[in-house]
A and B are shown apart, each in its own frame.
Chain A
Amino acid sequence: ARTRESFTQRIDELFLGKKQIDAALFDELEEILVTADLGIATTMELLETARRQVKRDNLSDPQQLKHIIKDALKSYLTATNRPAELVMPQQGPFVMMVVGVNGVGKTTTIGKIGAKFHAAGRSVLLVAADTFRAAAISQLKIWGERNDARVIAQHEGADPSSVVFDAMAMAVSKGYDVVLIDTAGRLHTRANLMDELKKIKRVITKQLPDAPHEVLLVIDATTGQNGISQATLFNEAIGVTGIALTKLDGTAKGGIVANITRELQLPIRFIGVGEKIDDLRDFDADEFIEALFAT
């Protein structure tokens, strides 16, 4: 909370303290945007657009400049026509695969999402398709206890698609409402590991033609420009349908998601703001942009 205050203070000082739009103001804006991980290319482009608009409309009020940048950012962040809310299927279970690079918060996010569904009165099945990471199965089982969900798991080293196959059969026959599949963290550059995800997806679709309904890519808010490559390659491999941005409770701004949503037109479904079961929020673009300007 302290960081948030000082950040908001700073952007306000920046804009309120200035009587006019000048080069120094653009420099400060550059620093803020780059420091928020928007990347220098996007930052330059944003500032160039703003510069042109300032010139064309003969703007002089720094507040107007602030609005131009905020509007542009908002259009990046909302560049999708998919609904922000998860849409439940008419029939059968809602199936979600959760993917991402190592350690970003996939398993934890599944635990939190499971709790939300549970609170909404849905029956939830958690699927331990990370059979690779040491103690990944136990970790998911603990989350299953916390949110009252059944966990389908085999042993460490088992074939993830076989775990998913069993889980899908169980979900359909027992009439579960929601199936959340935890996958092992993997770098997007590892082709063989990306193939494993494709296989998991095929197994799901084979048993339930309209599934998975959601392929959620988890992005860690501390991620730099590499986030674009993560999103692009996961999307190419299995078709990402939404993003969860985790660890926003730190000091990182998570600005890379603006590039990702702009490039791939994906909705940001959730933000993670802590390690506890209720530390998951819906994404709010205005709030995010406000926080992005704070230092």
Chain B
Amino acid sequence: MFENLTDRLEAVFKKLRGHGVLTEEHIAEAMREVRMALLEADVNYQVARDFVDSVSAKALGREVSQKLSPGQQVIKIVRDELVELLGGSTEQIRFDGRQPVTIMMAGLQGSGKTTTAGKLAAQFKDSGRRPYLVPADIYRPAAIEQLQILGDRVGVPVHPSTADTKPVDICRRAVAAARENNYDTLIIDTAGRLHIDEQLMGELKEIQTAVDLSEILFVADAMTGQDAVTVADTFNKNLEITGVVLTKMEGDARGGAALSIKRVTGKPIMYVGTGEGLDALETFHPDRTASRILGMGDVLTLIEKA
């Protein structure tokens, strides 16, 4: 993940560092290359444009430490902007609100909702909670069975849903069952759906109205290209999502979706999926990710001290 972007940005920065004095022309040239690098990494077209506009404005304004060379100053601006783009600080699911905590997974077909539901259940259980998995996908062939198997694997109870029950009724009953059995965290798995499918988006809204949801996690595939923001934005507008999970991050995806979704939705990336195994779920750290993208150990240390 991100290797491609890292290489491209490093080339740009190397050039920048080579200049004793930075002219406007140098900066403009570097920004053209940064923009190309971002687009090549699947960063959304508009997001990439805004990114370089913002960096350019700050670089020309030079509002940074005098301890750095002009080239390093620009690199620092890019780094800070990247952290900002990725979401600033680490954000996590909150367990202190309404009880039971109720989390709904939502997203396009095949993005990894069911698998992530299983992974979350495993993590919550390990941290001492009493999770309850709720299959509410009545459409995909064998979706309920899939979640049942995952629940068995991680030793978390699964609500006995049937495909002839409306998802909203499944969810209502599951909440009642959780109260009865003292499960403190419900994880609702929903069917994959297109953001433009109004009928199926309506179904999620119905669940939202019927059940007190603590979190709505939008699950997106890290390999997604330019469409990632359209999809995330539409889900967010319909449901007011509370966080994002990016799956399939362990491959060689260029990471544009990761860099674009927060900017467009304003909602934090909370987790990343890094494999098919049920332990392959990590908390997302914007700052560490930015450093990884920039990939320049020594330069970064210097910049961070400044």
The residues of A with any CB-CB pair to B shorter than 8 Å are: 2-3, 31, 34-37, 39-41, 101-105, 132-136, 138-139, 141-143, 156, 187-189, 220, 222-227, 229-230, 247, 249-253, 256, 275
**Identity of the chain B residue whose Cβ is nearest the Cβ of A274 in the assembled complex:** B194
Cβ-defined partner of A250 (8 Å) among B150, B223, B226, B227: B227
In the bound complex, residues from chain B placing their C-beta under 8 Å from that of A35 are 45, 226
In the complex, what distance in Å separates the CA atom of A34 from the CA atom of B36?
11
A223-B196 contact given A41-B40, A229-B252, CB 8 Å threshold? no
The reply to whether A187 and B251 contact each other, CB–CB distance below 8 Å, is yes
Q: Is the CB of B196 within 8 A of A3?
A: yes
Question: Contact: B231 with A222, CB < 8 Å?
Answer: yes
Closest to B224 in A: A222
User: How many Å lie between the Cα of A134 and that of B145 in the bound state?
Assistant: 8
Query: A188–B251 contact, CB under 8 A?
Result: yes
Whether A226 lies near B276 (C-beta < 8 A) is no
- Contact A40 B39, CB 8 Å, known A222-B227, A251-B231: yes
Residues of A within 8 A of B268 (CB): none
Interface set, chain B 214-266, CB cutoff 8 A to A? 221, 223-228, 230-231, 248, 250-254, 256-257
| In contact, A226 and B254 (Cβ under 8 angstroms) | yes
Contact A134–B149 (Cβ < 8 Å): yes
Q: Which residues of A contact B150 (CB under 8 A)?
A: 134
User: In the complex, what's the smallest C-beta–C-beta distance from A108 to chain B, in angstroms?
Assistant: 8
Question: How many A-B Cβ pairs are below 8 Å?
Answer: 132
Query: Whole-angstrom distance between the alpha carbons of A99 and B150 in the complex?
Result: 23
| Interchain Cβ contacts under 8 Å between A and B, 27 examples | A3-B196, A34-B45, A102-B110, A103-B248, A132-B276, A133-B146, A133-B276, A138-B141, A138-B142, A139-B141, A139-B142, A141-B142, A189-B251, A189-B252, A222-B224, A223-B224, A224-B225, A224-B228, A225-B41, A226-B254, A227-B225, A230-B223, A247-B108, A249-B194, A250-B196, A251-B196, A253-B227
With a CB–CB cut-off of 8 A, which chain A residues contact B153?
A: 134
Task: Mark each residue of chain B from 26 to 37: 1 if its CB lies under 8 Å from any CB of chain A, else 0.
Answer: 000000000010
Q: Are A224 and B36 in contact (CB under 8 A)?
A: no
Closest 5 CB pairs of A and B: A224-B225, A103-B110, A224-B42, A142-B141, A135-B146
B: number of interface residues (CB 8 Å): 42
Residues in A with CB closer than 8 Å to B195 are: 250-251
Q: Is B111 an interface residue (CB 8 A)?
A: yes
Which residues of chain B have C-beta atoms less than 8 A from A188's C-beta?
A: 251-252
Q: Which residues of A contact B111 (CB under 8 A)?
A: 103
Assembly CA distance A253 to B230 (angstroms): 12
A2-B196, A222-B224, A225-B41 known; 19 new pairs, CB 8 Å cut-off, are A35-B45, A35-B226, A37-B42, A40-B40, A103-B110, A133-B276, A139-B146, A141-B142, A142-B142, A188-B251, A222-B228, A224-B223, A224-B253, A225-B225, A230-B223, A247-B108, A250-B196, A252-B225, A253-B227
Q: CA A139 – CA B109 in complex, angstroms? A: 15
CA distance A247 to B227 in the complex (A): 12
Contacts of B276 in A (CB 8 A): 102, 132-133
B196 adjacent to A138 (CB under 8 Å): no
Specify which chain B residues have a CB less than 8 angstroms from the CB of A225 in the assembled complex.
40-42, 225, 254, 256
In the bound complex, how far is the Cα of B139 from the Cα of A222, in angstroms? 21
- Residues of chain B within 8 A of A41, CB atoms compared: 40
Interface of chain A, main secondary structure = loop
Among A31, A102, A156, A222, the most chain B Cβ lie within 10 Å of the Cβ of: A222
How would residues 113 to 144 of chain B score, 1 for a CB under 8 Å from any chain A CB and 0 otherwise? Answer: 00000000000000000000000000111110
Q: Within 8 Å CB of B225, what residues of A? A: 37, 222-227, 252, 256
Interface status of B100 (Cβ within 8 A of chain A) = no
Checking A34, A222, A251, A275 against B39 with a beta-carbon cut-off of 8 angstroms, the contacting residue is A34
Distance (whole angstroms) from the CB of B164 to the closest CB of chain A? 15
Q: A224–B38 Cα gap in the complex (Å)?
A: 12
Residues of chain B with a CB closer than 8 A to A252's CB: 225-227
Task: Give the CA-CA distance A193 to B225 in the complex, in Å.
Answer: 24
* Shortest Cβ gap from A6 to chain B (Å): 11
Contact A226/B251 with A101-B223, A251-B230 known, Cβ cut-off 8 Å? yes
Given contacts A138-B141, A251-B196, contact A275 B109 (CB under 8 A): yes
* C-alpha spacing A229/B3, complex, angstroms: 13
Kindly state the separation between the CA atoms of A135 and B194 in the bound complex, as whole angstroms. Answer: 23
C-alpha gap A277/B223 in the complex (Å): 26
Task: Give the residues in chain A near B139, CB-CB below 8 Å.
Answer: 275
B109 touches A247 (CB 8 A): yes
